[in-house]
Amino acid sequence: MSKRIDARNLNVYYSKFLAVEDVNINIEPRSVTAFIGPSGCGKTTFLRTINRMHEVIPGAYAEGELLLDGDNIYAPGVDPVNVRAMVGMVFQRPNPFPTMSIRDNILAGHRLNGARMSRSEADDIVERSLRGSNLWNEVKDRLDRPGSGLSGGQQQRLCIARTIAVSPDVILMDEPCSALDPISTLAIEDLINDLKEEYTVVIVTHNMQQAARVADKTAFFNIAGTGKPGKLIEYDDTSTIFSNPANEETQNYISGRFG
């Protein structure tokens, strides 16, 4: 399954601070969309409104509409838990559960919700997810060791595996590769390519080459200055954004030397 995402006049706040202003964007199902932009422009903030993780921060809230296949996830009565089950998320910093083994980390999405499953089903999910995130070979012999004993990169891949294990409709990734080496990055990028066959993928990245490689569409956010809200400046096909952006700000950002 896969879902379309439409944001309409979305304003995102931290208490009184307007962090992201008036975002309107349509994200197609079965596509990869990349968010790029300078640090602090609100990419993470906006990404977190897509699965209502934003409101977990005390005082934070969003105004406007965010439609998931036409259903406003900010409509009254919507259960954020349902939204989050449909919209998975990988964070900027790897955050495996320290009390759980690698195996249990992967199964967390199922187990924590009280799902019962046979040993072999569980093994299946674990292996599939770990292979998907290119971690299987490294950890297959220590599935029962704690997840926090892994290197930074390994931990991040574990978190990706944990997210895809619950097969959401949309997968949000906040700089998933910033802690990864090229080999794993490559694997994740391949994985993202595979995922878009079935899922809607949104990825925040600082690496414009990565955006160019994996994204169908790219959204450029910018910020006018500190204390000002971030804005969606331009949203278009990736090739257009990188070769022929309509907006001067985008042009400037893209043409800077970058890594």
134-163 binders of other proteins (CB under 8 A): 145-150, 152, 155, 159, 162-163
Does 57 bind a copy of itself (CB under 8 A)? Our answer is no
Q: How far lies 131's CA from each of 140, 146, 148, 190, in Å?
A: 10, 18, 19, 12
Residues within window 95-154 making contact with Mg ion, judged by CB under 5 A: 152
* Residue 132: CB minimum distance to a copy of itself, A: 16
Give dist(CA 159, CA 164) in Å, integer: 9
Q: Which stretch binds a copy of itself (CB under 8 A): 72-80, 97-105, 123-131, 182-190?
A: 182-190
- Pick from 9, 121, 16: which is nearest to 72 by CA? 9
**Which of these, 48, 46, 44, lies nearest to 56 by C-alpha position?**
48
Q: Which of 78, 136, 207, 216 binds other proteins (CB under 8 A)?
A: 78
Task: Give which of a copy of itself, Mg ion, other proteins, none residue 98 binds (C-beta under 5 to 8 Å, depending on kind).
Answer: other proteins
- Burial of 159: CB neighbours in 10 Å, binned 0-12, 13-18, 19+: buried
- Per CB under 6 A, 44 contacts ligand ATP: yes
Q: Which of 63, 79, 181, 190 binds ligand ATP (CB under 6 A)?
A: 181
Instruction: Look at the block and give the residue holding tokens 């969003």.
Output: 62
Q: Which stretch in 120-128, 159-167, 200-208, 235-243 sits in contact with a copy of itself by CB under 8 A?
A: 200-208
Q: Which residue is nearest to Mg ion (CB)?
A: 44
**Does the protein bind a copy of itself through residue 180 (CB under 8 A)?**
yes
125-154 in b/e burial notation, b at 16+ Cβ within 10 A?
Answer: bbebbbebbbbbebbeeebeebbbebeebb
Strand intervals (E) in the chain? 5-14, 17-27, 32-36, 60-68, 71-72, 87-90, 170-174, 200-204, 217-223, 230-237
d(C-alpha 146, C-alpha 154), whole Å: 12
Distance separating alpha carbons of residues 163 and 172, to the nearest angstrom: 9
Site for Mg ion in 27-86 (CB under 5 A): 44
Q: Between helices 152-164 and 182-195, what is the axis angle to 10°?
A: 10
| CA–CA separation, 79 and 133 (whole Å) | 29
Q: Quick one: which segment of 22-30, 31-39, 65-73, 110-118 binds a copy of itself (CB under 8 A)?
A: 31-39
Q: Which of residues 133-152 bind ligand ATP (CB under 6 A)?
A: 149-152
Structure tokens at 146: 């704690």
Interface segment toward ligand ATP; rule CB under 6 A; list 14-22, 96-104, 117-125, 126-134: 14-22
> Which of other proteins, a copy of itself, ligand ATP, none lies near 146, with the C-beta cut-off 5 to 8 A by kind?
other proteins
Q: Which residues bind Mg ion (CB under 5 A)?
A: 44, 152
Q: Which residues bind a copy of itself (CB under 8 A)?
A: 37-40, 44, 92-93, 137-139, 141-142, 150-154, 157, 175, 177-186, 189, 206-210, 213, 226-227, 253, 256-259
Q: Which residues bind ligand ATP (CB under 6 A)?
A: 14, 17, 19, 39-45, 57, 149-154, 181, 230
